[in-house]
Amino acid sequence: MEENRALIRELPRGTTDSPVVEEIVKLERRLFPKHESLSSSFYQELGKKNGGLLYCVLLDEGKPKEQVVGYVMYFFPSSLYASVTKLAVRENYRRKGYGEALLKAAIEKCRSRRIQRICLHVDPLRRPALCLYQKLGFQVDSIVESYYSADRDAYRMYLDFDVKK
């Protein structure tokens, strides 16, 4: 990723009416099949008290461009663990480090809350995503049969933190 050209921002909690959210919802619709997309419930997901959304924009001459390159959504079901519910990068920006930067930023947000584990699900056939998660230390916990559809399973993956008291 061209560090000097990218900026990762956090969507302020409670924000649902903004051009950024509208762009992310459109991107969600385009990137994911209807049965995997959160686009119809995206605003409810943003309204969750224990959640967050980080997004990446590119800088042009030091100013943010309007286009969102990617985003990661996560939430904290308990004080002990977090769940990454979405990580998406616009097709023409994949394999350039933006997804990794977004995921690292989300991991740091989770770490700052002193949680012990982050969980996520991934289609075993999505090799680039699987490799990214493994690169950042996620391990396969189990296979969840028919997670995405009747004929598509998922790996449930996790990343544990050493919690020092």
pTM of the predicted protein model: 0.88
For the beta carbon of residue 164, count every other beta carbon within 10 angstroms: 5
Residue 103 inside a domain? The answer is: yes
pLDDT of residue 61: 64
Q: Over the chain (165 residues), what is each successive 10-residue block's mean pLDDT?
A: 73 79 90 80 80 88 73 91 95 94 95 92 94 97 93 95 66
Q: What is the DSSP string of 101-143?
A: HHHHHHHHHHHHTT-SEEEEEE-TT-HHHHHHHHHTT-EEEEE
Give the count of domains, the chain: 1
Residue 22 lies in a domain: yes
Q: What is the pLDDT of residue 55?
A: 95
138 within a domain of the structure (yes/no): no
How much is the pLDDT for 64? 56
Residue 18: which domain range?
A: 3-115
Residue 93 placed within a domain: yes
Composition of the chain by helix, strand, coil, percent to 5: 30, 40, 35
- Position 67 scores a pLDDT of 80
CATH assignment of the domain containing 20: 3.40.630.30
Rounded CA-CA distance 84/32 in Å is 16
